[in-house]
Structures are given as C-alpha cells and as structure tokens.
Amino acid sequence: MGGTVSCPDFDLAGTLASGQVFRWTQGQSPPQGRRAGPAFTGWIGPAPVRIAQEDSILSFQGTSAQAVRAFFSLDLDLPAIARSIDVDPFIHAALQSHWGLRVIRQEPWESLASFILSAFNNIPRLTGMIEELSVRFGEKPDGVGPLRGPTPFAFPRPEALARVSERALRRCGLGFRAPYLRAAARSVAGGAADLERWGGLDDDALREKLLQIPGVGEKVVECVMLFGYGRGGAFPVDVWIGRAMRSGYFRGRRRTDRRIREFARRHFGPMCGWAQQFLYCQARGARHRGAWHHQGLRTSLEAAFPSGSIS
C-alpha cells in the first residue's frame, strides 16, 4: 500500500523531530524527485511506513492515506488552530518559527509506554530503550521487504510486555522504570485499563482513569491525552515548558506545574496542547542553538521569546 496525500501547512521533518514519537529515523536516500525532502521510516500503528515530503505533497508506502492523515493530524486545520492560540507575542513567535509543526496521534498504548519511560530520562537514551524493547519483544510483521526501517519489529504489545519479568525489562536498560512499565502493561493486558474504550470518555474522566495506572503521573497523563488520544486541551508541563512558561508568563518566578497548566488552559483555550508543542520546540530550539550553554537561562529564554513578558 502506498500513495500520496496533500499536506498543507505541514513540516514533516520538524514534526517527527519534536519529541512526540521516538521510533522514526531519517532514511538514506531521498526518493526520486527534484524537490523531495529526505525520506523517513517509522511505524504507524502496526505498519512499517516510509514517507517523504515534497512541498505540500506527502508520498508514502506501507499504509493507507487515511492512516497517514490521522497520524499527522492532517485532517485538522492548522491555520485555524494557530489563530485560536495566537494570543500573545511569545506564542506568536513560536508559531512563526515552527510553522507546520503538528501534534501527532499515535496509538494510546505506545504513547503511554513511551512516556512512562521518559521519566527522569533523556531522549537519546529513551530512544534506545524503546528500540531495545521492540527488538526483543515486538512482533515482526510478515512481508517486511523493501521499506524496512531501522527495526523490522513493531512496538511490543501490552500482552507481550505483561509476560516479561522486571529483570528482563531492566536488561533493556529501563532501570527504575521497569516495574512501572511492567505494571502498566499488565494493567492494560488484563483489561483493568481499557485504553480503547477510554477513547470515548471526556477529558476529565479520561484523565482520572489514566492517572490510576501505576507509574503514570500528571505529566505522562497529559502526554498520552495529547499525543495518544488527540485531546488538544491537554497541556503537559515538562521541564522545558516549565522554564518557558515561567520565563514568558510569570517573570521567571516559581510556579507549580499544576498552576502553569491551569494558566495555559485559560490563556490558550481548548487547543492549548498545540500551543504547548510550539512552545516546547521554541524552548528546546534555544538550547540546541547553544544558548543555554553559553548564557544564563533567563537571557537565553529572552532570545527564544523575543518580546517582553506579559501577564
């Protein structure tokens, strides 16, 4: 299966690099075509996929156009979302710098597991852990031929991980996260956590349910809601967003994550999760450009968020 889909207001490379998903890699050779961008390989649900962008056209192999659209939220109107969250100079700058960024919708289980593993971790290591788990416990779909990515193994199903000992999980480098992931897998596999059915719940009910899963706290809940269930009103506050928000909206003063989240929901409205993604990339971009290594935190954030503070 393969084909093309139209993708206005979309930045494939930027979206895949924005810390929402951890199993996509840039392929070696761009597909034929003068203005084609690099090809990426990864997974959309159970299917290994290869995909490349040329202007406003996405060409892909391995899955359906509908799956591609859903995965990258191409069915949503980014300009409309942007207008709704474009309420101050900080977010405005972030929207401009990262135009085309979209919130990805991946499977709730993979999202849940990935963000459980993100605790007190860094992205390179997290990526390695997920890779290791997939190689050892993921299924290999039949007929993985021409579009084989880095790993011909799917992300492990909860049933598979539920059978694995904590010790074996630790051997994948999970450290103290091993019992958390194991407990979550057992909870899902055993039916106590019915991720599929929970898709029908409203935000508050879903939040409450997810929070009961072992190893899942407020931050992970928001990530799963945003990246796994497509809930635009979720607002994960990680260290990067925390810094950015304190700097931009609270004059650098301490605020609890909860307060930051509540402020963001009021301030940005029902699609605040998208604002989060843009601000996250903006804050992280400042670090990648070296700002935080060579200057103080405050000054670098001012570089990342060029206007004066509000609120």
Please report, as ranges, the residues that interact with DNA according to CB under 7 A.
Answer: 18-20, 118-125, 128, 170, 173-177, 180, 214-221, 223, 236, 238-240, 254, 256, 258-259, 280
Three-state DSSP class for residue 138: coil
Q: What is the 8-class DSSP label of residue 19? A: S
- Minimum CB distance to DNA smaller for 4 or for 256: 256
Do 67 and 44 meet the contact criterion of CB atoms below 8 Å apart?
yes
Residue 173 Cβ vs DNA, minimum distance, rounded to whole Å: 5
- Minimum CB distance to DNA smaller for 136 or for 170: 170
Residue 66 Cβ vs DNA, minimum distance, rounded to whole Å: 26
Residue 216 Cβ vs DNA, minimum distance, rounded to whole Å: 6
Residue 57 Cβ vs DNA, minimum distance, rounded to whole Å: 27
Q: How far apart are CA 238 and CA 226, in angstroms?
A: 13
Q: How far apart are CA 155 and CA 215, in angstroms?
A: 19
Residue 271 Cβ vs DNA, minimum distance, rounded to whole Å: 16
Q: 138 is written with which tokens?
A: 């993921």
- Minimum CB distance to DNA smaller for 148 or for 258: 258
Radius of gyration of the chain (CA): 19
Residue 163 Cβ vs DNA, minimum distance, rounded to whole Å: 20
Residue 154 Cβ vs DNA, minimum distance, rounded to whole Å: 21
- Minimum CB distance to DNA smaller for 243 or for 267: 243
Do 101 and 277 meet the contact criterion of CB atoms below 8 Å apart?
yes
Do 277 and 103 meet the contact criterion of CB atoms below 8 Å apart?
yes
Sign of CA dihedral 166, 118, 111, 49: negative
- Minimum CB distance to DNA smaller for 141 or for 198: 198
134: phi > 0 → left, psi -120 to 50 → alpha, else beta; which?
alpha
- Minimum CB distance to DNA smaller for 249 or for 280: 280
Non-local CB neighbours of 86 within 8 Å, separated by 6+ positions: 92, 95
Residue 274 Cβ vs DNA, minimum distance, rounded to whole Å: 13
- Minimum CB distance to DNA smaller for 138 or for 215: 215
Q: Bridge partners of 50?
A: 41, 61
- Minimum CB distance to DNA smaller for 69 or for 170: 170
Q: List helix spans (H) across the chain.
A: 12-16, 65-71, 78-85, 89-97, 108-117, 123-137, 158-162, 166-170, 178-189, 195-198, 203-211, 218-223, 239-249, 257-268, 272-288, 291-294, 297-304
